[in-house]
Structure 1
Amino acid sequence: MSDVYERFVGLLSGFGIQADEVRPDTTFTQLEFDSLALVEITLAAQQEFDVAIDDDELTAEDTMAQVANVIEAKLVGV
């Protein structure tokens, strides 16, 4: 997987999620993220990658691969 994916999965450790619990097709729902946790991880990702992520760009049903793709697209656009 990409560096962005690996870095994002690393951010999840701050939310009690171990890297071996996550696969590219794992969703936030499967990780039992509620709406508040989703907002918090979005903020953490914005800070980590220095990109702006709108509230509606990440949803509970997004996979970790989809999240990495959103971030990668924003990095390319920077």
Structure 2
Amino acid sequence: HRFGITFHRNKRSKAAINTELETIPGIGEKTVIELLRHFRSVSKVKKASETALSEVIGPAKAKIIIKHYQQTTNEN
């Protein structure tokens, strides 16, 4: 039992590592985990189309992410 609890705690702490996606307003931890499970990296999420994002997290959150990355691209 003790080993199971330790494993679970370690797994959760690794998942709690902040990613760039978590800084986007309206995007929570569960959404970030879903995106990373599907796309495997933040850079692939950035390159994904709105349609591809919508299939994973829904159209509203997909628009938020697309808009965020368009704004950061325009600022640079």
* TM-score normalised according to structure 2 size: 0.33
Q: Quick one: higher RCO (CA 8 Å, sep 6+), 1 or 2?
A: 1
**Which structure has the larger Rg over C-alpha atoms?**
2
Greater percentage in helix = 2
| TM-score (ref. length: structure 1) | 0.32
